């Protein structure tokens, strides 16, 4: 017996997890930027029309900002913001964030129940921040028409997909089985 | 003191056990004592015993707000060890272990010190290097520490996880053969019985509500059973110490946290050592009754409530099963929590504090049980002589202002 | 399993929070004018009250430091407020 | 053989589906729906186990989690479960069931002789003997005797437990009549209700007693309630144990099934309807097989058609158990009621002996007679109806207190002491209609009115110390009344002392049967009331819960997540081997064979031509805003406000106690824009330090921190040919000095170039957005061959930096290392502004010259490498550590071992010989400066 031999490979990023009530797929997002400071002013100059969304909220348009903190958000836009990175005169800090977050779509009637398996408590209701602890990591959760989107740091993507596939494990999702 | 032995058991057995006397006398407070000790846990009772035994001071009272041994003495995972890094710590904990080694015979009470050995298990080359650092530190300090390789370590814990997908594989670790466990309640009762036999008053359900000070020196304590005069006050009250010291306007570098412990249903022998996994932070041993006794990290919310919460239970249990997948067959039987007083550098506070005549012995954090004999020995020395024993001097409160911290977690990379 | 209110995010599980320090520890400055004892008191001392306490906590997911008033014995949470200077 | 099966009764078994299992090797028939207890009873098995201490033969007592005796190891279809209670385990075809703590079997246990020595083995006997030799000598024998079931070393249950979090308006615990009524009322009021039931079916005692709830047959009521609860968005879950009540309305439940579920439930309100457990009676040898709970007998008869015997005595002191006697008689047993009351209403058709109780049981391996009024009455079964003990565990877990209800002779919840509403038998209400009324009121949100005190009808039933013989209080742990008397005599009179000294209540039934008895006995022995004697605390779990359910799926690779590189697959394809470095899975070396040799070879290449390594985990914290420089000046040991844009500077972050917390390079991209390269395992910690200072000191509107670590992949090209390789790869690198920072366009994105060296050779840190990582890697890779370059892993990088004496925080430093100990005294000596940790650098200890300081070590020519972890000791022979070796390698370019160490007063000892201690072996080395290679830094600019 010696050191752990790390030969297990990361799960492919395009792996699909499917259960009778839920599908998990990787989804491409638009351009990501981290924006801090005066968020209202920031959105006006960086992505006019983009709405700010909180936990499990579904954006109306293609451009939107996912609120992380009181003065910080992840801006997701279809084209890169037309400003240089760094400090903006409007009192806003801007960092292009490439794929700072990888986006997993959980869709189907069992999506929220699957999400709840990674939380230490029932999902919050009406939280202005989309950030929360999932499976021991800080992730962002936004809404989607048929479930939710889970935004996780790319280095942990393999762990998160591994976690989700062990949870679903071919067994029916909890909604279908328990009552 | 009525002597305990196989023969006395035999004799009493034939007499229907009618002749056993109370293990310790139930005392009521006298107006004054030569020394008063607050806290009827292991440390307080040991202090009283050594005051009487080693220093001949018998006008001594131990004040316990509940029942003796009911605090952290009766709420821990019973591990005894001295596998520490800094020489100051090794001297302290090895004094405790040496006193433990002769304790059952000395106080004629079987505290069941089981020196079954303890393995601190490492999983990566980096951890093995740290383990070598500690093993060498122990050897230099005259303690039986040894670096163990994978095969030797695995032989000590036959059921440990060897699956290829184990998160933490056993690469080896530090072995201390003299480490082990002792019966926690017996330590409190044994010291109480021995102290009581020497004339110490053990006063239960007596809570201290104030400390009397005149001209900068202690003159007595106020209690729920009335005032008691004394010019020497020892405080061995763990998590209650900050509150007691607040009476004399002393603020200590202590935070109180809940530490949980867990017990499985009893099974036939399957683990013969004490094991701490560096990877999971979970430690486990099997009691003589067959239960697996295990624990892990603190509940990281400062508290005085003796209750644990679910997230830590889940993490510690997952850690145990990651170490021993076969233990997934077992069930949790009991869970409890103690309030531990954690000092900023995770080493205890022993020495004078506040008014003249007041001495504290606290801040043992998660590691107080193993230190009971030493804690008692050193506090007794302070109370009797008014000055430090060489072993307790480094643990004086002044180390913070001097910047002379004894930070084991930082020094060894291993928390208590 | 306790639940603390982040002044911004709302109630969240204890696992999302990290205890920072008891409230009211003003940093003594400048360093040259601070005694060893005063500095040690600032760095290490804690009242650890049994009962009501006011503390600074960090909400790990959003990064906000805030003030929490709670009872260390009953674990009741009384109030949570942002640090001074936060626009409501 | 006394138990038997009625030919038609049994509401929950399916007689069309027979099955067979083995018990201690004997074949036992049963039906689908049987528990092991009901099947074994029906088949006539009486001795089901042996007691813990005396190995007394024991039979079935109860009907649920309180069962202390019938505990089995069960093997079935590849799964294995030790210590399973017969009452809670359902029989399945082919199961192999074995008794525990007995050899070779419970029927014939070789250790049964121990009972003969019982008089020398009183409670706590082990505290009084076994002291002559070390305990470790006696212990193995005792350990072998102890324990119940066995762990199967070859069976590891799957880590497939599901953990789910949920919330509800009203949590109702227990689906007996009171709980059903409460759930119904709450659901009809529009609340989201979760109704949890431990048993497989709702109904509570009505399952075997029958009856109506609120005017409706109970089955219909239960069905309608389920529908109402689900219609209102709630859930009804059976086979689910609510086992823990935690802070702030949190609860934990274990739902059984093929994949067990661990539920964390947050409830706005909780209604506790956990019922009550029948209390035993105390008489001599009340532990004999055949002595059972009366209620359990009715349960087994009505649900499974199982009867414990044909000649049954039932001892009681209330009317509540008369239906038990009647049902058994109707089923064909001969039943005599022994009623403690002198005057009782005539129970039609039942033989009655009034004004009497059982004084002793007769029969060694099972009841053959009972002693009543001094006369032996032949019987094969003694049923005990000793009254009721409310199940208040969860109430107490939630902080609730208890009151002694003298009239009902029960400890009941004291209203208002815990955030729960308790109803039904759990609060002492045994009357069905009253319990239902309490449920309806509680479900509608009302707080129940305090109960009217009930006058005490007669002296309560208590263990009687005056009676001869041994009376068992705790069956599994073998605690008798005499043990409690001994505890009282020896002063262990507080309830907690009693429990710990005698082990009463510490068995796997968690004191359900014994706690009250022990309490009552101690009260009687010490002339105190039960209230004065006190109660023990109940802690989770309410009943034993599988560790695997609590642990959940966080096992193996899911236990502590590892971060993975975007280029992991490419590195694997290039032959990389991986290791966990501070939570990141990174290449250690490339290729097969001895790791140290590979690392040497990689390092040599990096010194002679060029090498590339993946440095992506290095933190990238952007600090942006007018207050950025001030923030970094305060949080850093080295001032950054004086850094020019386009340049980088190495610095430290200290804790307030002056200890080096992290090191790294800060890049200044613009006046208000910095990037902090935190070390890979400290990214989050450094970010929170920056946030703290920003929010609490510098001003939260003037500076912001963005963690963009994972947006980029960073590949570091290092070696004399670094620049040439980059150019060969088609990168139009700007002309940068050492510690210069620039940017070039790369495939429509930006590639940041920083001339930062962790190896001492010319290095280019190339950072591109992750989506361009593959092409950048491929281009560099393609260019490698021309230079005889290679990819190198972390082991080689560690070696290269050690040759230069560059520290690795946490490896070459410990929790006492300050920057001056690393030779960085400048800012401490010169900075007059405030920064984190400043004051701590000036305590008496911090100013000492005898601190442990970083040095290098050189072994004599031809000497072997030093092992990391070796200590430095004085040459005076004193056994004292002066420090220790933190890093050790063999340098391929120097062709000799190198090492770094922390040594007391080390900076003044350079050139001196010191002694090294490693596992008892002492040798010598010479203290050197930390940097062993190219101390002048001439290689930083690469090949000319």
Q: Is the pLDDT of residue A14 over 80?
A: no
pLDDT at A11: 63
Is residue D110 within 8 Å of residue D104, measured between CB atoms?
A: yes
B400/C contact by beta carbon, under 8 A: yes
If you classify domain D162-277+390-443 with CATH, what class do you get?
alpha beta
Is residue D270 within 8 Å of residue D251, measured between CB atoms?
A: yes
Q: D577 to chain A: which residues are within 8 Å by CB? A: 6
Which chains lie within 8 Å of chain C at 3 or more CB pairs, if any?
Answer: A, B, D
Facing D247 at nearest CB: one of C64, C75, C85: C75
Interface of A with C in 1-60 (CB under 8 A): none
Q: B311 to chain C: which residues are within 8 Å by CB? A: 1, 13-15
Is residue D243 within 8 Å of residue D143, measured between CB atoms?
A: no
Tell me how close the Cα of B305 comes to any Cα of chain D, in angstroms. 10
Q: What backbone torsions phi and psi does residue D898 show, to the nearest 5 degrees?
A: -130, 155
> Which positions in chain C have a beta carbon within 8 angstroms of at least one beta carbon in chain B?
1-2, 13-15, 17-19, 36-37, 39-41, 43-50, 53, 55, 72-75
What SS3 string covers D676-731?
A: ECCCHHHHHHHHHHHHHHHHHHHCCCCCEEEECHHHEEEEEEECCCHHHHHHHCCC
Tell me how close the Cα of C48 comes to any Cα of chain B, in angstroms. 6
- Measured between CA atoms, the residue of chain D closest to residue B10 is D120
* Cβ-defined contact of C73 to B303 (cutoff 8 Å): yes
Residue D619: Cβ-neighbour burial (10 angstroms; 0-12, 13-18, 19+): buried
Q: Are residues B232 and B265 in the same domain?
A: no
Which residue range(s) make up the domain with B286? 118-179+255-341
Q: Residue length, chain D?
A: 944
- Measured between CA atoms, the residue of chain C closest to residue B309 is C1
Q: B162 to chain A: which residues are within 8 Å by CB? A: 1
What token pair was written down for D101? 């703590």
Tell me how close the Cα of B169 comes to any Cα of chain A, in angstroms. 5
Q: A127 to chain C: which residues are within 8 Å by CB? A: 9-10, 12
Reported ipTM: the value is 0.96
Which of B400, B402, B403 to mutate against chain C (most C CBs within 10 Å)?
A: B400
Could you give the CA distance from residue D147 to residue D508 in angstroms, rounded to a whole number?
11
* Cβ-defined contact of D580 to A120 (cutoff 8 Å): no
Is residue B27 within 8 Å of residue B61, measured between CB atoms?
A: yes
Q: Which position has the higher pLDDT, B141 or A73?
A: A73
What SS3 string covers B353-410?
A: CCCECEEEEECEHHHCHHHHHHHHHHHHHHHHHCCCCCCCHHHCCCHHHHCCCCCHHH
Tell me how close the Cα of B319 comes to any Cα of chain C, in angstroms. 17
**Total structural domains in chain B?**
2
- In this structure, whether the domain defined by D278-387 belongs to CATH 3.50.50.60 is answered with yes
Q: D586 to chain A: which residues are within 8 Å by CB? A: none
Could you give the CA distance from residue D612 to residue D631 in angstroms, rounded to a whole number?
33
Is residue B349 within 8 Å of residue B364, measured between CB atoms?
A: no
What DSSP character marks residue D109?
B
- Measured between CA atoms, the residue of chain C closest to residue A55 is C9
Spell out a b/e string for A122-145, using b for 16 or more CB atoms within 10 Å of the CB, else e.
Answer: bbbeebbbbbbbbbbbbbbbbbbe
Q: What backbone torsions phi and psi does residue C4 show, to the nearest 5 degrees?
A: -115, 145
Q: Checking DSSP bridges between strand A64-69 and strand D261-272, what pairing results, if any? A: unpaired
Residue D710 Cα to chain centre, angstroms: 32
Determine the topology of domain D621-707 in CATH: Alpha-Beta Plaits (3.30.70)
Could you give the CA distance from residue D424 to residue D411 in angstroms, rounded to a whole number?
14
A176 pLDDT tier (thresholds 50, 70, 90): very low
Facing D711 at nearest CB: one of A86, A99, A120: A99
Is residue B294 within 8 Å of residue B284, measured between CB atoms?
A: yes
Facing A3 at nearest CB: one of B125, B162, B165: B125
CATH superfamily of D462-528: BFD-like [2Fe-2S]-binding domain (1.10.10.1100)
C62/D contact by beta carbon, under 8 A: no
Is residue B346 within 8 Å of residue B253, measured between CB atoms?
A: no
pLDDT at A10: 66
Q: Which of D391, D473, D476 is nearest to D205 (CA)?
A: D391
Place of tokens 């954090």: B365
Tell me how close the Cα of B200 comes to any Cα of chain C, in angstroms. 30
Q: Which of D386, D368, D365, D384 is nearest to D376 (CA)?
A: D368
CATH number of the domain bearing residue B227: 3.50.50.60
Facing B154 at nearest CB: one of A1, A4, A8: A1
pLDDT at D2: 87
Q: Are residues B173 and B34 in the same domain?
A: no
Rounded to a whole number of angstroms, the distance between the first and last alpha carbons of chain A is: 45
pLDDT at D259: 81
Q: B170 to chain A: which residues are within 8 Å by CB? A: 1
Is residue D499 within 8 Å of residue D505, measured between CB atoms?
A: yes
Local structure of D216: helix, strand or coil = strand
Residues of chain B by 3-state class (helix, strand, coil), percent to 5: 35, 25, 40
* Cβ-defined contact of A4 to B170 (cutoff 8 Å): no
- Predicted TM-score (pTM) of the model is 0.96
B255/C contact by beta carbon, under 8 A: yes
CATH architecture, domain D807-940:
2-Layer Sandwich (3.30)
Domain boundary among B287, B311, B341: B341
Q: Are residues B250 and B266 in the same domain?
A: no
Q: Which position has the higher pLDDT, B408 or A74?
A: A74
Q: D264 to chain C: which residues are within 8 Å by CB? A: 1
Q: D840 to chain C: which residues are within 8 Å by CB? A: 39, 43
Could you give the CA distance from residue D12 to residue D28 in angstroms, rounded to a whole number?
18
Q: Are residues B85 and B65 in the same domain?
A: yes
Is residue D166 within 8 Å of residue D266, measured between CB atoms?
A: yes
Interface of B with C in 296-315 (CB under 8 A): 300-305, 307, 309-311
Interface of B with C in 186-245 (CB under 8 A): 239-240, 242-243
Could you give the CA distance from residue B89 to residue B141 in angstroms, rounded to a whole number?
10
Q: Which of A57, A35, A55, D264 is nearest to C10 (CA)?
A: A55
**Which residues of chain B, if any, have pLDDT below 70?**
411-416
Q: Are residues B77 and B101 in the same domain?
A: yes
- Measured between CA atoms, the residue of chain A closest to residue B123 is A3
Strands (E), D525-575: 545-546, 563-564
Which chains lie within 8 Å of chain A at 3 or more CB pairs, if any?
Answer: B, C, D
Which of C10, C11, C59, C64 to mutate against chain A (most A CBs within 10 Å)?
A: C10
Interface of D with A in 683-742 (CB under 8 A): 700-701, 703-708, 710-712
Facing C58 at nearest CB: one of D657, D688, D838: D688
Domain boundary among B341, B371, B395: B341
Local structure of B310: helix, strand or coil = helix
Is residue D294 within 8 Å of residue D61, measured between CB atoms?
A: no
The ranges assigned to domains in chain A are: 17-28+101-177, 31-98
Q: Is the pLDDT of residue A170 over 60?
A: no
Tell me how close the Cα of C47 comes to any Cα of chain D, in angstroms. 19
Is residue D771 within 8 Å of residue D736, measured between CB atoms?
A: no
How many C-alpha atoms does D55 have within 13 Å on its Cβ side? Answer: 21
Tell me how close the Cα of A141 comes to any Cα of chain B, in angstroms. 21
* Cβ-defined contact of A72 to C63 (cutoff 8 Å): yes
- In this structure, whether the domain defined by A17-28+101-177 belongs to CATH 3.30.43 is answered with no
- Concatenating the DSSP letter of every residue in D166-200 gives EEEEEEEE--SHHHHHHHHHHHHTT--EEEE-SSS
* Cβ-defined contact of C2 to D840 (cutoff 8 Å): no
- In this structure, whether the domain defined by D4-111 belongs to CATH 3.10.20.440 is answered with yes
Strands (E), A89-127: 92-98, 102-107
Q: Kindly list the averaged pLDDT for each block of 10 residues, start to end, along chain D of length 944.
A: 92 97 97 98 96 94 96 96 96 97 90 89 94 92 91 92 93 98 98 97 97 96 98 97 96 91 96 97 96 98 98 94 95 95 80 94 96 96 96 94 92 93 95 96 88 80 90 95 96 94 93 92 91 84 95 90 93 94 94 95 98 97 98 98 98 96 97 96 96 96 97 97 97 95 95 97 97 97 97 98 96 94 97 97 95 96 94 85 96 97 96 95 96 95 80
Place of tokens 């005990």: D384
The ranges assigned to domains in chain D are: 4-111, 162-277+390-443, 278-387, 462-528, 621-707, 807-940
Same topology for domains D162-277+390-443 and D621-707, yes or no? no
* Cβ-defined contact of B151 to A5 (cutoff 8 Å): no
* Cβ-defined contact of A4 to B169 (cutoff 8 Å): yes
Which of D263, D695, D829, D840 to mutate against chain C (most C CBs within 10 Å)?
A: D695
Local structure of B20: helix, strand or coil = coil
What DSSP character marks residue A57?
P
CATH number of the domain bearing residue B129: 3.30.9.10
Could you give the CA distance from residue D628 to residue D631 in angstroms, rounded to a whole number?
5
Facing D838 at nearest CB: one of C31, C36, C60: C31
Q: Residue D438: which H helix or E strand, with range? A: helix D432-443
pLDDT at A179: 29
Q: Are residues B318 and B265 in the same domain?
A: yes
* Cβ-defined contact of C15 to A120 (cutoff 8 Å): yes
Q: Are residues B271 and B149 in the same domain?
A: yes
Q: Are residues B173 and B264 in the same domain?
A: yes
Domain boundary among B341, B372, B396: B341
The CATH classification number of C3-82 equals 3.30.2270.10
pLDDT at B414: 53
Q: What is the pLDDT of residues C2-17, one digit of tens each?
A: 999 999 999 999 999 9
Is residue B379 within 8 Å of residue B362, measured between CB atoms?
A: no
Percentage of chain A surpassing pLDDT 70? 88
């Amino acid at each position: 017996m010696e050191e752990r031999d790390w030969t297990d490979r990361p799960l492919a990023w395009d792996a699909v997890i499917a259960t009778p009530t839920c599908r998990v797929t990787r989804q491409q997002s638009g351009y990501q930027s981290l924006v801090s400071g005066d968020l209202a002013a920031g959105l006006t100059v960086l992505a006019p029309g983009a709405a700010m969304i909180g936990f499990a909220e579904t954006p109306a348009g293609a451009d939107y900002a996912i609120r992380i903190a009181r003065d910080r958000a992840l801006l997701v836009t279809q084209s890169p913001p037309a400003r240089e990175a760094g400090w903006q005169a409007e009192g806003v800090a801007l960092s292009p964030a490439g794929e700072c977050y990888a986006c997993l779509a959980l869709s189907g009637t069992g999506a929220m129940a699957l999400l709840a398996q990674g939380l230490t408590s029932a999902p919050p209701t009406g939280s202005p921040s989309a950030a929360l602890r999932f499976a021991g990591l800080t992730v962002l959760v936004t809404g989607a028409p048929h479930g939710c989107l889970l935004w996780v740091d790319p280095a942990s993507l393999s762990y998160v997909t591994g976690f989700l596939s062990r949870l679903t494990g071919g067994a029916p999702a909890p909604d279908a089985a328990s009552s | 003191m009525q002597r305990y032995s196989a023969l006395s058991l035999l004799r009493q057995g034939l007499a229907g056990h009618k002749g056993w006397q109370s293990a310790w006398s139930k005392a009521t407070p006298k107006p004054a004592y030569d020394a008063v000790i607050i806290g009827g846990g292991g440390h307080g009772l040991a202090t009283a015993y050594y005051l009487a035994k080693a220093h001949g001071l018998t006008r001594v009272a131990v004040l316990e707000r509940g029942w003796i041994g009911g605090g952290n003495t009766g709420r821990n995972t019973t591990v005894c060890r001295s596998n520490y890094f800094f020489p100051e710590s090794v001297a302290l904990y090895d004094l405790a272990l040496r006193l433990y080694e002769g304790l059952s015979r000395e106080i004629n009470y079987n505290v069941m010190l089981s020196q079954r050995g303890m393995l601190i298990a490492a999983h990566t080359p980096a951890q093995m290097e740290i383990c070598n650092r500690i093993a060498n530190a122990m050897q230099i300090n005259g303690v039986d520490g040894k670096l163990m390789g994978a095969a030797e370590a695995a032989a000590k814990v036959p059921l440990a996880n060897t699956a290829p997908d184990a998160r933490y594989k056993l690469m080896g670790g530090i072995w201390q053969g003299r480490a082990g466990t002792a019966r926690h309640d017996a330590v409190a009762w044994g010291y109480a019985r021995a102290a009581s036999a020497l004339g110490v008053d053990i006063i239960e359900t007596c809570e201290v509500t104030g400390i009397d000070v005149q001209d900068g020196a202690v003159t007595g304590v106020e209690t729920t059973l009335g005032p008691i005069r004394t010019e020497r006050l020892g405080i061995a009250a763990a998590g209650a110490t900050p509150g007691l010291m607040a009476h004399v306007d002393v603020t200590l570098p202590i935070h109180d946290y809940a530490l949980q412990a867990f017990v499985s249903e009893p099974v036939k022998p399957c683990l013969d050592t004490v094991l701490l996994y560096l990877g999971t932070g979970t430690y486990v041993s099997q009691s003589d009754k067959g239960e697996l006794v295990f624990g892990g990290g603190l509940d990281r919310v400062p508290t005085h409530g003796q209750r644990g919460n679910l997230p830590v239970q889940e993490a510690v249990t997952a850690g145990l099963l990651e170490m021993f997948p076969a233990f997934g067959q077992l069930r949790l039987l009991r869970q409890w929590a103690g309030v531990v007083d954690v000092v900023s550098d995770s080493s205890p506070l022993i020495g004078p504090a506040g008014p003249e005549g007041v001495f504290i012995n606290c801040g043992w954090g998660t590691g107080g049980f193993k230190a009971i004999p030493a804690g008692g020995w050193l506090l007794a020395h302070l109370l009797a002589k008014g000055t430090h024993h060489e072993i307790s001097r480094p643990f004086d409160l002044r180390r913070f202002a001097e910047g002379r911290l004894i930070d084991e977690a930082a020094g060894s990379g291993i928390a208590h | 399993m306790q639940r603390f209110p982040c002044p911004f995010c709302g109630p969240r599980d204890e696992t999302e929070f990290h205890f920072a320090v008891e409230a009211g520890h003003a940093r003594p400055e400048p360093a040259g004018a601070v005694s060893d004892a005063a500095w040690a008191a600032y760095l290490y001392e804690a009242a650890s009250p049994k009962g009501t306490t006011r503390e600074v906590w960090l909400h790990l997911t959003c990064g906000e430091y805030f003030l929490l008033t709670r009872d260390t014995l009953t674990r009741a949470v009384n109030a949570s407020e942002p640090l001074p200077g936060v626009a409501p | 053989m006394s138990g038997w099966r009625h030919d038609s009764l049994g509401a929950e078994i399916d007689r069309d589906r027979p099955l067979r299992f083995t018990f201690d090797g004997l074949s036992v028939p049963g039906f689908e729906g049987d528990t092991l207890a009901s099947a074994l009873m029906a088949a006539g098995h009486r001795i089901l186990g042996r007691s813990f201490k005396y190995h007394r033969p024991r039979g079935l007592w109860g009907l649920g989690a309180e069962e202390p005796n019938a505990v089995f190891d069960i093997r079935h279809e590849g799964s294995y479960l030790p210590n399973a209670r017969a009452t809670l385990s359902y029989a399945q075809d082919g199961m192999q069931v074995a008794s525990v703590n007995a050899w070779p079997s419970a029927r014939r246990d070789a250790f049964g002789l121990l009972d003969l020595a019982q008089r020398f083995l009183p409670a706590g006997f082990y505290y009084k003997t076994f002291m002559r030799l070390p305990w470790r000598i006696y212990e193995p024998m005792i350990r072998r005797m102890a324990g119940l079931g066995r762990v199967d070393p070859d069976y590891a249950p799957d880590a497939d437990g599901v953990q789910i979090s949920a919330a509800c308006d009203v949590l109702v615990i227990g689906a007996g009549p009171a709980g059903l009524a409460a759930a119904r009322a709450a659901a009809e009021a529009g609340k989201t209700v979760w109704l949890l039931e431990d048993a497989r079916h709702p109904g509570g005692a009505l399952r075997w007693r029958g009856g109506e709830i609120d005017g409706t047959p109970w089955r219909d009521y239960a069905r309608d309630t389920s529908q109402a609860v689900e219609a209102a968005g709630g859930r009804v879950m059976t086979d689910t144990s609510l086992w823990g009540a935690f802070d702030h309305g949190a609860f934990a439940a274990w739902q059984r099934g093929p994949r067990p579920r661990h539920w964390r439930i947050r409830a706005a309100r909780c209604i506790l309807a956990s019922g009550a457990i029948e209390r035993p009676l105390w008489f001599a040898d009340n532990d004999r097989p055949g002595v059972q709970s009366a209620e359990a007998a009715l349960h087994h008869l009505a649900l499974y058609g199982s009867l414990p015997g044909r000649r049954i005595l039932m001892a009681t002191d209330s009317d509540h158990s008369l239906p038990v006697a009647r049902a058994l008689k109707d089923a064909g047993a001969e039943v005599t009621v022994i009623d403690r009351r002198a005057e009782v209403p005539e129970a039609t058709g039942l033989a009655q002996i009034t004004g009497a109780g059982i004084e002793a049981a007769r029969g060694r391996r099972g009841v053959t007679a009972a002693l009543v009024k001094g006369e032996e009455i032949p019987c094969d079964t003694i049923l005990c109806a000793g009254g009721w003990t409310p199940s208040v565990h969860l109430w107490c877990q939630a902080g609730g207190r208890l009151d002694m209800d003298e009239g009902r002779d029960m400890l009941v919840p004291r209203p208002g002491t815990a955030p729960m509403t308790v109803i039904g038998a759990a609060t002492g209400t045994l009357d069905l209609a009253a319990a239902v009324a309490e449920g309806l009121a509680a479900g509608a949100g009302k707080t129940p009115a305090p109960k009217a005190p009930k006058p005490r009808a007669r002296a309560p039933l208590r263990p009687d110390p005056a009676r001869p013989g041994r009376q068992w209080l705790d069956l599994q742990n073998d605690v008798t009344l005499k043990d409690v008397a001994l505890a009282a005599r020896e002063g262990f009179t507080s309830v907690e002392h009693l429990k710990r000294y005698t082990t009463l209540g510490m068995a796997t039934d968690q004191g359900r049967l014994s706690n009250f008895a022990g309490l009552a006995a101690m009260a009687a022995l010490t002339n105190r009331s039960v209230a004065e004697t006190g109660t023990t605390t109940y802690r989770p779990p309410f009943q034993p819960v599988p560790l695997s359910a609590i642990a959940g799926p966080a096992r193996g690779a899911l236990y502590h997540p590892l971060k993975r590189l975007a280029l992991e697959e490419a590195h694997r394809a290039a032959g990389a081997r991986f290791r966990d470095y501070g939570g990141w899975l990174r290449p250690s070396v490339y290729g097969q064979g001895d790791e140290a040799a590979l690392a040497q070879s990689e390092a040599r290449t990096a010194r002679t031509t060029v090498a590339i390594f993946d440095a992506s985990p290095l933190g990238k914290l952007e600090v942006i805003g007018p207050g950025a420089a001030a923030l970094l000046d305060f949080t850093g040991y080295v001032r950054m406000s004086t850094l020019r844009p386009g340049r980088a500077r190495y610095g430290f972050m200290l804790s307030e106690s002056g200890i080096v917390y992290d090191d790294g390079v800060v890049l200044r991209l613009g006046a208000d824009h910095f990037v902090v390269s935190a070390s890979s395992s400290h990214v989050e910690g450094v970010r929170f330090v920056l946030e703290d200072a920003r929010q609490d000191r510098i001003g939260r509107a003037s500076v912001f921190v963005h963690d963009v670590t994972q947006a980029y992949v960073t590949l570091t090209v290092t070696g004399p040919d670094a620049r040439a390789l980059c150019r060969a790869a088609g990168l139009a690198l700007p002309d940068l000095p050492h510690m210069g920072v620039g940017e070039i366009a790369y495939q429509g994105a930006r590639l940041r170039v920083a001339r930062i060296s962790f190896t001492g050779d010319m290095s280019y840190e190339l950072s591109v957005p992750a989506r361009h990582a593959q092409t950048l890697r491929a281009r560099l890779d393609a260019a490698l061959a021309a230079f005889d370059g290679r990819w190198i892993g972390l082991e080689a990088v560690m070696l290269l930096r050690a040759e230069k004496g560059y520290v690795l925080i946490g490896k070459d430093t410990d929790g006492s290392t300050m920057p001056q100990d690393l030779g960085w005294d400048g800012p401490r000596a010169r900075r007059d502004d405030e920064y984190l940790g400043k004051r701590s650098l000036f305590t008496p200890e911090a100013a000492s010259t005898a601190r442990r300081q970083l040095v290098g070590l050189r072994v004599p020519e031809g000497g072997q490498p030093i092992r990391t972890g070796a200590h430095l000791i004085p040459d005076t022979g004193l056994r004292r550590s002066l420090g220790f070796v933190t890093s050790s390698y063999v340098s391929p370019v120097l062709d000799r071992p190198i090492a770094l160490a922390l040594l007391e007063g080390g900076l003044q000892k350079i050139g001196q010989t010191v002694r090294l201690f490693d596992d008892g072996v002492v040798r010598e080395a010479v203290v050197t400066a930390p940097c062993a290679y190219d101390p002048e830094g001439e290689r930083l600019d690469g090949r000319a």
